[in-house]
Amino acid sequence: MKAPTLLLSVLLACGSAVAQDVLDCHIAPGWEPSGAIRHYDASNLFDYKDGGAEGYLIFGFVRMSTIDCKSGANTLTIDLSEMSGADAAYGIFAANLDPNAPVAQIGMGGQVEAQSATFAKGNYYVEITEVAANPNADNSATLRQMASTLEMRLAGRVTPPAQLHWFPAGSAGPVRMVPESVLGLQELQQGYVAKYQTGQAFVVLESTPESAALVLKTVRKHFPNATAAKVGDEAFTANAQYLGGICIFRKGRVIGGYANLPEPQQAVTLSASFAQRVP
């Protein structure tokens, strides 16, 4: 067997082992499996998720295992997705949050509603989706119990990404990961964005201060009328098409700032306050 094929077989076997240890319909009384555990990777995820598969792949999807359960006339499906890292797992969780529902303290973060529950822990993202005989039924208590039990069976980080705590309070919804082209700029490959009543703040974490400085220099070329700003280690501000008043700063290996503000000076003022929150 060739080395790449052997490695793939080992990875799939590891994923299957985790699924066998975690996925179990009996974690709540009265539920029974209605079929065997199924396994998916990037090559066949579209067979299961169809049009929704891209939403997983873009966040660093590795593999998924799923099981169907039944209790009387009620059915539910548990999807256990392994992502490329804990930040990716939190990213896909946050991308699917209902902004009008509270976030539960399950793993790095969870959300439990009347007939669904999701959470992220370590490299894993878990979705429990129920189809109840009574479409108005509130089974959140059972789903919370199931999510909490599954969370205890999974290893990994239980703290959300540190970058979330850097954003100023008062955002108009949860801070979300943007898996590529933050602010529509391809040089800002992956980061977090918080939208406010006016404008939005963002942060991108580069590998080193030197790589961050190079990225900032490249990004500035998109704004020929930009001027220097005294924020962080270096920064610039501009009045940009589509992005309005903008200020982008670098502090160490962190790139952040504000965009979509009425005036560049407002972006500079808010970015200066934001930079002070970055360690």
Here the tokens at position 270 are 């808010």
Bridge partners of residue 66, in order along the sequence: 38, 79
Q: What is the mean pLDDT of the chain?
A: 93
pLDDT exceeds cutoff 70 at 215: yes
Question: In terms of pTM, does the model score above 0.95?
Answer: no
Reported as a single tens digit per residue, the pLDDT across 64-101 is 999 999 999 999 999 999 999 999 999 999 999 998 89
pLDDT of residue 18: 80
Contacts for 89 with CB less than 8 Å, ≥ 6 apart: 81, 83, 108, 120, 121, 122, 123, 124, 125, 156
Q: CA 193 to CA 69: how far, in whole Å?
A: 37
Please choose, from the candidates 249, 225, 80, 262, the residue with its C-alpha nearest in 3D space to the C-alpha of residue 166: 249
Mean pLDDT of 185-211: 97
SS3 assignment, position 182: helix
The CATH number of 3-153 is 3.40.1000
Q: Are 64 and 48 in contact (CB under 8 A)?
A: yes
Domain boundaries along the sequence of the chain:
3-153, 162-277
User: Are 3-153 and 162-277 in the same CATH fold?
Assistant: yes
Coil, strand or helix: which one is 110? strand
Q: How many Cα atoms sit within 13 Å of 227 on the Cβ side?
A: 6
Report the 3 state secondary structure along 117-163: EEEEECCEEEEEEEECCCCCCCCHHHHHHHHHHHHHHCCCCCCCCHH
Protein fold of 162-277: Protein Transport Mog1p; Chain A (3.40.1000)
∠ Cα 87 246 274 (to 5°): 55
Q: How far apart are CA 138 and CA 123, in angstroms?
A: 29
pLDDT band at 266 (very low <50, low <70, confident <90, very high): very high
Q: Is the dihedral of CA 56, 215, 170, 278 positive or negative?
A: positive
- Can you tell me the distance from the alpha carbon of 109 to that of 81, in angstroms, rounded to the nearest whole number? 15
Q: Give the model's pLDDT for residue 7.
A: 44
Is the pLDDT score of 5 beyond 50? no
For residue range 113-165, list pLDDT tens digits in order. Answer: 999 999 999 999 999 999 999 999 999 999 999 999 999 999 999 999 999 99
Looking at this protein, which amino acid is placed at residue 72?
Answer: G
Q: Are 149 and 118 in contact (CB under 8 A)?
A: no
1: pLDDT strictly greater than 70: no
Compute how many other C-beta atoms are within 10 angstroms of the C-beta atom of residue 91: 25
Helix (H, G, I), strand (E, B) or coil at 78: strand
The C-alpha angle 38, 44, 47, rounded to 5 degrees, equals 80
Q: What is the pLDDT of residue 16?
A: 60
Pick the more confident residue, 12 or 169: 169
